Structure 1
Amino acid sequence: MLTAKQHELLRFIQVRLEQTGISPSFEEMKEALDLKSKSGVHRLISALEERGFIRRLANRARALEVIKTPEEAVLTSRSAPVAANDRAPAKPSRVGAPAPANDVLDIPLHGRIAAGAPIEALEGQSSLQVPAALLGPGEHYALEVSGDSMIEAGIFDGDYALVRRTDTARDGEIVVALVDNEEATLKYLRRVNGKICLDPANGAYEAQLYEPAQVAVQGKLAGLLRRYH
């Protein structure tokens, strides 16, 4: 018998796996269940694991697999007893199993983005194949990086920035910022005295300061792809 919170968490994990193929983070689980700390999530995960409802997948970050649901557990308990010698080996249910690590997804490729001075935003569109393991939940797109203003953050000219689409971001996050509704740039976001500061990661460049109305967040950096020639 599961507690209400255990059942709620199990259902949340199952739905997220069915939607995205990737289990939610502990922070997402904490917020979904309105818990005060991640330690509460750890206790719920451990309880579900001990009861055989989920299992952790080895060598994969934040990877959980739903083995059975409470409904399946009830059906099992109501089944007629079977002699021990007649039992077939148990096969775990693969409800909402995460996508294999070698799965590849096509995401939109919106041209080049400046990692220096802003350039024209989202020019053209094609697609880029990306390993599913590099992407978390949400909608993503890719941009080819142009310039060297983010090299100290490990982002180089010619890299592909994998961006999770969102219109909000916290200070210190690397974002795709649309300036004056026509130019886009990849920078650290910072708020200073009521203004928006877009910080480079290269000492040769200066920060760019704008009024809040001039800047719209178009997404947050989720990962990078680099091709070696």
Structure 2
Amino acid sequence: MLTAKQHELIRFIQQRLEETGISPSFEEMKEALDLKSKSGVHRLISALEERGFIRRLPNRARALEVIRQPEDSTPAPRAAKPANDAAPVVMPKAPSMPSPANDVIEIPLHGRIAAGAPIEALEGQSSLPVPAALLGPGEHYALEVSGDSMIEAGIFDGDFALVRRTNTARDGEIVVALVRGEEATLKYLYKDGGMVRLDPANAAYDPQVYGPDEVQVQGKLAGLLRRYH
């Protein structure tokens, strides 16, 4: 069963597709649903996508397709037949292929994170605008990378790591690891003989090995943003 906001959003998307052939922008959806931020829209879309009601068309930032309607949706009323029995005028449908756009959502930006020796992360909170096409389902946040221990993985000092929030990860995934409840670092994660090993991607650095209770996964790397000066 969908929430009221999910119902409202899927009806709005379907209505816009029928009227214009173009799915609404995140800004339009935010205003239509009276939400405070685009991140709320992103969460609703991710939930509908995960449950199979909509899907994002590949390689397009503004391209949503309604796959199915909720079972309890009320169909739109049919137009009354003209009194003189004349054949009704059928208006041509707009093209069904949505056009691309550059939808951007705001995700929390939590300080800096080390790609070297662990430093404190989550030291403050602001926000970072991110193209919606870079993010998949789930809740995301961003951290500014400090250091060079992950350069062989293409992660450089000053990059913004886009992180999907989770507390689990498989061996070999790049994670945000909170060490001893105080410091966070960006590393490859491995389970090694009952210990947790955090591996850099730079031959100049050694792996860091901790007890299983000393490391807490706070997210997995989902993407990167880079500024060019």
Same-fold status (TM-score > 0.5): yes
CA deviations 1:106-131 (Å, max 9, x no partner) are 21111111000101132122211111
Tell me, in whole angstroms, the C-alpha distance in 1 between the residues paired with 2:69 and 2:48. 16
For 2:91, the equivalent position in structure 1 comes to 88
The answer to whether residue 153 in structure 2 is matched with residue 128 in structure 1 is no
Letter in 1 for 2:170: R
Query: Which of 29, 41, 44 is residue 19 of structure 1 equivalent to?
Result: 44
Q: What amino acid does structure 2 have at the position aligned with 1:137?
A: P
- In 2 relative to 1, CA 226–58 (structure 1 residues): closer, same or farther, beyond 3 Å? closer
Give the aligned partner of residue 111 of structure 2.
111
Letter in 2 for 1:111: G
1:226 counterpart residue number:
226
CA distances 1:22-45 after superposition (whole Å, capped 9, x unpaired): 974xxx67xx9xxxxxxxxxxxxx
Q: Between the two proteins, what is the percent identity of the paired residues?
A: 70
> Is it true that 1:163 corresponds to 2:188 in the alignment?
no
Distance in 2 (alpha carbons) for counterparts of 1:60 and 1:227 = 22
**8 Å CA contact retained: 1:23, 1:64:** no
1:212 is paired with a residue of what secondary structure?
Answer: coil
What pairs up with 1:136-215 in 2 under 5 angstroms?
136-215=136-215
Alignment match, 1:40: none
Residues 151, 23 of structure 1: CA spacing in aligned structure 2 closer, same or farther, 3 A cutoff? farther
Change over 3 Å in CA distance of 1:84–1:70 after alignment to 2: farther
Bigger helix share? 1
Provide the C-alpha distance between the structure 1 equivalents of 2:143 and 2:59, rounded to a whole number of angstroms.
29
| Cα 1:149/1:128, change in 2 over 3 Å | same
Q: Give the Å deviation of 1:140.
A: 1.1
SS in 2 for 1:152: helix
Deviations, residues 77-135 of structure 1 (Å, cap 9, x unaligned) = x88899988322235899xx9x9641111211111110001011321222111111111
Q: Residues 43 and 138 of structure 2 are in contact (CA less than 8 Å); yes or no, is this contact kept in structure 1? A: no
TM-score, normalised to structure 1, is 0.67
Q: How many pairs are equivalent?
A: 187
Question: Residues 209 and 101 (structure 1 numbering): CA distance in 2 closer, same or farther, change over 3 Å?
Answer: farther
Quick check: 1:67–1:93 contact (8 Å CA) kept in 2? no
Amino acid paired to 2:220: K
Q: Which residue of 1 aligns with 2:35?
A: none
After TM superposition, list the pairs within 5 Å mapping 1:1-16 onto structure 2. none
Gapped regions of structure 1 (runs ≥ 5)? 1-10, 33-52
